[in-house]
Structure 1
Amino acid sequence: MEIIVKSFNELTTTELYGILKLRTEVFVVEQDCVYQDLDGKDKDALHVIGTKGGAVVAYTRIFDAGYYFKEASIGRVVVHSSERKYGYGRDIMRASVRAIHDRFKETTIRISAQKYLITFYYSLGFKPTGAEYLEDGIPHINMIKE
């Protein structure tokens, strides 16, 4: 998998289509969750895109401190179901942490993690903070990496 980081304005229409297609396939269809994915924040994010054979197979969007949370943040973490066995979730998260360090010079990162992925994020250095909450009907918890 190749990973690139781009601002919204640097995305090609093909890349944007691939990102939105992947997010819809996983967050709306696979997780059976009807929600407004297009929230107006993509234009202010940096996009960490994992591609394989020209297709978007892994993705996150990252924000500088103070935009989404007080800390820098990673969101919309997604890997295509057929590609999860290759460890691309770990690869895209590591690339996202590096991009935050390189682009924003931040070391503290907050995520809003789906609760069933706590162990995965913990293995990457994130620690749960605060109480569990529902977001779009799915249990979440905030996690911090310092």
Structure 2
Amino acid sequence: MPVRSAGFDELSSHTAYRLWALRSEVFVVEQAAAYLDLDGRDVEAGTRHLWVEADGLPVATLRVLDDGDVWRIGRVATASAQRGRGLAAGLVRAALAECVGRPVVLDAQSYLTDWYAGFGFVVHGAEYVDEDGIPHTPMRLDIVAAPEVRQATDF
């Protein structure tokens, strides 16, 4: 499935709604993490939304934030019925191809640190537990050109 990429102003209202509904389905409902997903960062000029569709609907997504000196990958979510098909891995590879010129950081759910390591990320800070009790680990990938991304498998 092809990866789509757009800034907020390029998203149709239907696509934006479906992306945020998918994130809510995964994080708020499945993981019981009652937090404000719509944090204002989705609409920033430097933010990129990446997703893949099945039958015209987003089934996997992530966003890339422009944090000035680094790119930040976050909100990586795949619909439960679509997991194990490599969609998240394809999204991360596509995101890394867009993240040129600066390091890339993310806060991985700790059980996924080995998966992100498959793309070249390394632990870059102490594990912490977020407000919903989910352990996270800061990770970093220092790239300055289009990366030679290793082929991590999907989780």
Q: Same fold (TM over 0.5)?
A: yes
Alignment-derived partner of residue 96 in structure 1: 95
Q: Aligned equivalents of 2:26 and 2:88: distance in 1?
A: 13
CA shift for structure 1 position 65: 4.0
Equivalent in the alignment of 1:117: 112
What is the percent sequence identity of the aligned residues? 37
Aligned to 2:75: 76
- Paired residue for 2:35? 35
Assess if the C-alpha contact under 8 Å between 1:5 and 1:99 holds in 2: no
Instruction: Give distance in 2, aligned partners of 1:107 and 1:83.
Output: 31
Which residue, 48, 51, 54 being the options, matches 2:53? 51
* Aligned-residue CA RMSD (Å): 1.1
| TM-score normalised per structure 1 | 0.90
Judge conservation of contact 1:2–1:52 (CA < 8 Å) in 2. Answer: no
**Offset at residue 100 of structure 1 (A):** 1.6
Structure 2 unmatched ranges of 5 or more: 143-155
Q: Which structure carries more strand by proportion?
A: 1
Unaligned runs of 5+ in 1: none
Partner of 1:22: 22
Q: How many equivalent pairs are there?
A: 139
Higher helix share: 1
Q: CA deviation at 1:2?
A: 2.1
Superposition deviation, residue 107 in structure 1: 4.1
DSSP 3-state at the match of 2:34: coil
Structure 2: distance between partners of 1:14 and 1:130: 38
Partner of 2:123: 128
TM-superposition CA deviations, 1:15-44 (whole Å, max 9, x none): 011101100000001101111101011001
Q: Is the 8 A contact 2:105 2:141 kept in 1?
A: yes
**Contact 1:131–1:141 (Cα < 8 Å) also in 2:** yes
- In 2, Cα distance between equivalents of 1:14 and 1:140: 31
Q: Secondary structure at the match of 2:3?
A: strand
Tell me the TM-score normalised to structure 2 length: 0.85
